Amino acid sequence: MESQKLKRPQHKGSPRLFKNPVLERLTHTHISAPLIIFFSIAAVLIYYGIFEKGFAVLEMVLLFLAGLFFFTLVEYLMHRYLYHIPATTERRKKISYTMHGVPHDYPKDKSRLAMPPVLSLFIASVLFIIYRSLLGDLVFGFLAGFLVGYAAYLSIHYSVHAFKVPNNSLKILWHHHAIHHYRESDRAFGVSSPLWDHIFETMPRKTPVERQKGSLN
């Protein structure tokens, strides 16, 4: 809260998204809500996979890691192609703005960096149905990893916006995302890691920060 006052004026406050006060309220959420929901569901899925479906612990660990890894790809693709959907129609403009324009225009609005509980539950249910039909019982470990990846992404994104740059190796993530928000919105889409930016060649162009340190790669 206090830190908001110190920031640049254009990042103050928060735009209203819905006329309906209930819907509007739902767009402001504490960061812990989706984290608790995703971690709880993941725990239940793992428990169920091992004790009801008879998976070995090692199998669950491997499925979990596969789901986690797959999430990082989905995170990249969603951010690059859905959040940054070209606003060619009014409808698309609205989608892009609601999903991503708000965080871009008001990156310091902490309550909007989290996800409403109803939406978290809805996403988890839809993912369960999709992955269940594709993977059968493998869904239990896989979706658990995917949801933990999602929770990790949400907490990393929140931390990058809410806290100061840390003085350790994590600062790479702070700089990476700051470049995306403030300098090159067509680069640096990865939030939880720059891995897919390397693979799909969307790493930031040469910036003063990089030049200072010499070439990073």
Interface positions with Zn ion (CB under 5 A): 103
Nearer to Zn ion, 103 or 117 (CB): 103
Contacts of 109 (CB under 8 A, 6+ apart): 11, 13, 14, 102, 103
Nearer to Zn ion, 52 or 186 (CB): 186
Paired tokens of 26: 């739902």
User: CB 178 → Zn ion: shortest distance, Å?
Assistant: 9
Paired tokens of 125: 């249910």
Nearer to Zn ion, 71 or 189 (CB): 189
**Can you tell me whether residue 216 is helix, strand or coil?**
coil
Contacts of 98 (CB under 8 A, 6+ apart): 17
User: CB 91 → Zn ion: shortest distance, Å?
Assistant: 19
User: CB 170 → Zn ion: shortest distance, Å?
Assistant: 15
By CB neighbour count within 10 A (0-12 exposed, 13-18 middle, 19+ buried), where does 62 fall?
middle
User: CB 183 → Zn ion: shortest distance, Å?
Assistant: 12
Nearer to Zn ion, 66 or 185 (CB): 185
Give the residue at shortest CB distance from Zn ion.
103
